[in-house]
Structure 1
Amino acid sequence: MSRECGNCPFNQTDCENPLCVTAGGKQRLITTVNYQIPGPAVLVCLNDTVIVNVHNGFETDSTTIHFHGAHQNGSPWMDGVPFITQCPILPGTTYQHKFIAGQAGTHMYHGHSGTHEADGLFGQYIVRKPEDFNKHELYDLDLPEHTMIFWHWFDRPVGEIFALQNFASTGMPPYDILINGKSEKEVYTKDGKNYKTPRAVFEVEQGKRYRFRAIFNSIIYCPVQVSIDNHNLTMIGSDSGEFNPVEVETFIGNAGERYDFVLNANAPIGTYWIRVRGVGNECKSGKINQQAILKYKKSELEVPKQDVPTYDESGRSGKLLNPMDLALTSYPENDVIVFTELESPEPTRNINGTPDVTIYLEFKTYTHSSIRYPQMNNLTFSYPKSPLLTQWNRTDINCSPKLRKYNCVDNFCTCPYTEIMKKGDLVEIVLVALDPFPIGDHPMHLHGNHFQVVAMETVGKNISTQHIRDLNLAGKIPKKLEKVPYKDTISVPSEGYAILRFVADNPGYWFFHCHLSIHAAKGMAVVIKVGEDIVDIPTAPQDIPRCGDFPSLPPYY
């Protein structure tokens, strides 16, 4: 907490000061957008022109911003990935993002350099369709104040923890989950009385139906389970996709995912716990849980009558959407619904037929110099020295496993791993996760496109990429190809596989990576290149910044 927080938490009113960031009450260095966590909401309508001026106020760090869920059709240099689509924004300089909001849905923006997003550089980016504002058959109100952002949080700057994990093997034990930048984690004592920073509160009016939007992210594997006391949740969409309504008691979101649900405020007037807990191995063993409050207008209670729920009390029986860790985790009190069981209410893009390109990506951890690296196809992604998009003629992307042109030390190999396809290709990507639990279900996020998950299964310890390849080639993997909801982030089951399809109609260089920040930082990524330079891929503006090596100077004497 900063000086803007005044006498918080002893004076709770001070905790709501305009520039006060409580973030659970721990005093530590943080990263903010306009002095806020979360940063200011970017709320637009479909096909609006979005203009965001990003000024880097860091003294030494470069940075970038990614609008997670925006495809950047025709403006790939606005995607915000350093050394892939742009040069990093240097300290003291400004980069203007200008693009068309072409994908309706619940999205976010976040830092895409270093660990900035894990330290607070994030916010909501919501794109509404015209019908979202009209009276909807499923809900009455879709309000900005009903966006929930669940963000894993540490008690120290993440760069420090990450460095110690790599070089001192100290681990990254989980700490807390922020809900819209708030939590009741730290305890302050004054005059024998305990005080905490306030929780997030969501207000509703009895008799109304509300659309809620939930956004998730984490640097480590810590999927978040959510439920609301005395209320069921009608799930209606995820990322930029919609699906037929499914009523559940609880659901789980992994890093990078977003889920929309309708809450029917039909309970007695009062206040109710919103129960939140981490369900990944480390968050489960560390019993990481948090709460927010659902408050009905006219309620005389600020806090629910029930005691603050413990970790074990933060689960809920009944239907559960999007379970994690099915390789070794059972849900005896739940009727689980996996994402592939959901169906779009409207016909989706035609993805039938034989794919033009099929890519197999094998996930496996490799240990080098005592550091564990989650890899794809035995490669660790390393960034080029100039952006692939804007300075393609200065970079070498010939480092796919077939070409064997990458840097290796023993069997540890790094390169700007790139898979290439033609514009218009029907693409199938088969993701095979070999690592056993507790590595967890990798949340894979694709920039520049959404995809459809046509098959997904947990196999078990005997899984092999060759076996999945053989089954796929023989047509023995059942695939759902009609009315498949769109996604841009999917959790690939540990000891299992997921098969994605999409039409490569958005030319550019698109990052495809695990959205656990620690895995992305360690190189669990690949670039999907769609189309040919100059011919298909849009040419960046002439005045866009350039960067790269300056290896030598001509002799002057």
Structure 2
Amino acid sequence: MATSLAGLLLRLAALLCLFQCIQAKTITYDWNVTWVNANPDGLADRKVIGINGQWPLPVVEVDKGDRLVVNMYNGLGDKDTSIHWHGMFQNGTNGMDGASMVTQCPVPPGQSFTYNFTINQNGTYWYHCHTNNCYPDGYRQALIVHDKDAYYNDMYDKEYTLTMSDWYHELVEDIKWITLTNPTGAEPVPQAFLMNDTTSTSLPVDAGKTYLLHLINVGAFVAQYIYIEDHSFKVVEIDGVYTEPTEASILYIAVAQRYTILVETKNSTDKNYPIVMVADSELLDTIPSDLQLNSTSWLEYNKDADYPQAVMKVDQSSSLSPIDDTSLVPYDHMELLPDPDITIDVTVIMQDLADGAGYAFFNNISYTKPKVPSLYSVLSSGNYSTNDEIYGEYTHPTVLQKNQVVEIILNNGDTGSHPFHLHGHNFQVIDRAPAYGEHFYDYLNGDPVAYDPSNHEAFPQYPIRRDTIILPPQGYVVLRFVADNPGVWIFHCHIDWHLSQGLAMILVEAPEQIQEQEKVSSQAYDSCRAGGMAYEGNAAANTEDWLDLTGQNKQVDWLPSGFTTKGIVAMVFSCVSAFLGMAFISVYGATGIQAKKKETAVVNEGSASSDR
């Protein structure tokens, strides 16, 4: 009887699996990535990165369980590229993560790369270029994964997706900011802020209905406050993690973060209501007089009614009090992970190097890409794969064993906030200080406050999970996750300017399992060959002696003892001034001599005439 029951259960399980396979489908896109022209803020025409001749880019919508296949051709002509599927775990498909020189070589112009993976997640995500800071040039858009089993499916009538972003009028390649002339490392200030790639948009709504809004900050730098005048809402998901429905009226969304909310509309249709987006001005070193920090879109109840501009609640965006994401409770009530097996303790530092420019560091390492993608070093290294030395000093690698509980302690020695993103995982946020709202910038009046493992608040029983978290100015955050997804995953600040300064490190998770399960296509190696890049060896592309890192890419040298960037800048400009002064003296001196010669020649000529 027991055997018959077991057999029945196995057949039922097989039928369920077959049913799920039948329900799942393959979504295929053929994308030619090219330059197009756009003017989303109405202030400046510029080149942007489009797909199949179009910009804004297509919103990708799939169902949980679907296979996504994107055949990408690089038609840019002058730029390498890739696609990172932000928030996708890529379990078993690490090579599809799209992070250049981490999981693949960048795709050169004229080459193709096929991204092919199954999506067993749900919620709000996005995709963007992950090569040489190219996504501020427009290469980013929403990725929505629908879930027929989402607990809130019967709570809403219609859904919308809203992206928010900062916008630059110059191409990234033309923004020269890691230079001697910018020793403070001040980030480039955008010229505008967009919602759904325009300066204003309207969401048509009916009275007495409920709407599901997917909110995504696809910007490169600036966090945004967002609220809807005279409306509150319920948060039901962040970064792909369902939450207990939680009432809120204001959100603070850093770059790369996502929220899904439920908004109930009013019973009256006599007016339209502003959807207000306010840039966090505390992140900007300077605020140009023509930069508008707030923008207005609308819940459109009545297309014949006025579209009022927002009434700002405060003068300074930092005084807005959004909901604290660490107060949210995951819907599945996953409990606090046990004490860690391994702890990674790093401090964010912004500092100048010997070239006089500003760089970013975890402790004393500014991430510098290796000569071989780190995943390919894993695959070609055999027994050396578990030795973190082979991945190079300047990728700041940590090798993790499968299923270890990992704790990351992030201390901030900088006066700016940083949104940190972990590829391949979400993590529990178990502690952070200071909190959101009016206390967010409290530590700026004193020295940085580091996390003290022997003196901290009690950890929550059900910590919130997400894949992108804000590290407060001069504060700290503590994260935990389980290393249950073999792969090479980069952990980095998602302010794209800070990533280019080196604020990143890699986690090499279960390398022996990576070797067993990961398969790299010949097409991927073709990209390496076409770009003249190595795809075997350690970080220095050495396949003979795996512990010899001679020739690895290195960060810029440290400033000589006793030198400061201010001193170097002063010396350089003094030298420039001296050279210019000598040049002017030479030019004007020579001009004076020539004039004197000419005057003497005229006098002599006159005397000669008189003699005649």
Determine if the TM-score, normalized by the shorter chain, exceeds 0.5.
yes
Among residues 374, 378, 388, which one is paired with 1:388 in the alignment?
Answer: 374
Does residue 1:261 correspond to 2:247, yes or no? no
Match for residue 108 of structure 1 among 126, 142, 153: 126
Q: 1:38 to 1:533 in 2, by over 3 A?
A: farther
Counterpart Cα distance in 1 of 2:135 and 2:53: 14
Residue 449 of structure 2 contacts residue 475 of structure 2 at CA under 8 Å; is this kept in 1? Answer: no
Whether 2:97 is the aligned partner of 1:79: answer yes
User: Secondary structure at 2:109's aligned position in 1?
Assistant: coil
Partners of 2:483 and 2:158 lie apart in 1 by: 32
> Which residue matches 1:502?
481
Matches within 5 A, 1:129-528: 129-132=147-150, 135-136=153-154, 139-143=155-159, 146-161=160-175, 163-164=176-177, 166=179, 168-169=181-182, 172-183=188-199, 199-220=200-221, 222-266=222-266, 268-269=268-269, 270-283=271-284, 285-286=287-288, 287-296=292-301, 298-301=302-305, 303-304=306-307, 306=308, 308-309=309-310, 313-315=311-313, 331=319, 334=321, 336-348=322-334, 350-368=335-353, 369-392=355-378, 415-436=394-415, 440-458=416-434, 460=443, 461-463=446-448, 465=450, 468=451, 471-472=452-453, 474=454, 476-528=455-507
Aligned-pair identity (%):
25
Corresponding residue for 1:37?
55
1:230, 1:267 within 8 Å by CA — same for their partners in 2? no
Offset of residue 424 of structure 1? 0.4
Quick check: which one's strand share is greater?
Answer: 1
Let me know the Cα RMSD of the aligned residues: 2.9
Pairwise CA distance, 1:522: 1.3
**Judging changes above 3 Å, is the alpha-carbon distance between structure 1 residues 33 and 315 closer, same or farther for their aligned structure 2 residues?**
farther
Which of residues 71, 88, 97 is equivalent to 2:106? 88
What secondary structure is seen at the aligned counterpart in 1 of 2:300? strand
**Contact conserved, 2:283 with 2:417, CA < 8 A, in 1?**
no
What SS is found at the alignment partner of 2:331?
coil
Distance in 2 between residues matched to 1:244 and 1:549, nearest whole Å: 48
Quote how far apart the aligned CAs of 1:285 are.
Answer: 3.6
Q: CA deviation at 1:271?
A: 1.9
- Render the CA deviation track for 1:273-332: whole Å, top value 9, x for unaligned: 211111132558444222222212x5413x51x3x34xxx43469xxxxx99xxxx5x3x
- The count of aligned residue pairs is 475
Amino acid of the structure 2 residue aligned with 1:83: M
Query: 2:591 is matched with which residue?
Result: none
> Cα offset for 1:391?
3.8
What is residue 439 of structure 2 aligned with on the other side?
none
Question: CA, structure 1 residues 425+351, in 2 after alignment: closer, same or farther (shift >3 Å)?
Answer: farther
Provide the rounded CA distance (Å) in 1 between the counterparts of 2:214 and 2:208.
Answer: 19
Using the alignment, how far apart are the partners of 2:460 and 2:151 within structure 1? Answer: 31
**For structure 1, which segment, 259-268 or 275-284, has the greater mean C-alpha deviation from structure 2 after superposition?**
275-284
> Which residue in the other structure is 1:120 paired with?
138
CA–CA distance in structure 1, aligned partners of residues 245 and 152 of structure 2: 19
8 A Cα contact 1:110 1:122, kept in partner? yes
Report the TM-score when normalising by structure 2.
0.72
Does the Cα contact within 8 Å between 2:378 and 2:515 map onto a contact in 1? no
Normalized per residue, the structure richer in helix is 2
Alpha-carbon distance between aligned partners in 2 of 1:134 and 1:429, rounded to the nearest angstrom: 32
What is the CA–CA distance in structure 1 between the aligned matches of 2:87 and 2:232, rounded to whole Å?
A: 27
Deviations 1:519-556 (A, max 9, x none): 1111100111110235666222352423334999xxxx
Q: 1:236 to 1:76 in 2, by over 3 A?
A: same
Matches of 1:498 and 1:371 in 2, distance apart? 28
Contact map agreement 1:443 1:514 (CA 8 A) in 2: yes
CA distance in 1, matches of 2:387, 2:403: 23
What displacement does 1:205 show? 1.1
Compute the displacement of 1:397 (Å): 9.1
Residue 330 of structure 2 aligns to which amino acid in structure 1?
Answer: S
Q: 3-state SS of the aligned residue for 2:497? A: helix
Change (3 A) 1:181 1:355: same
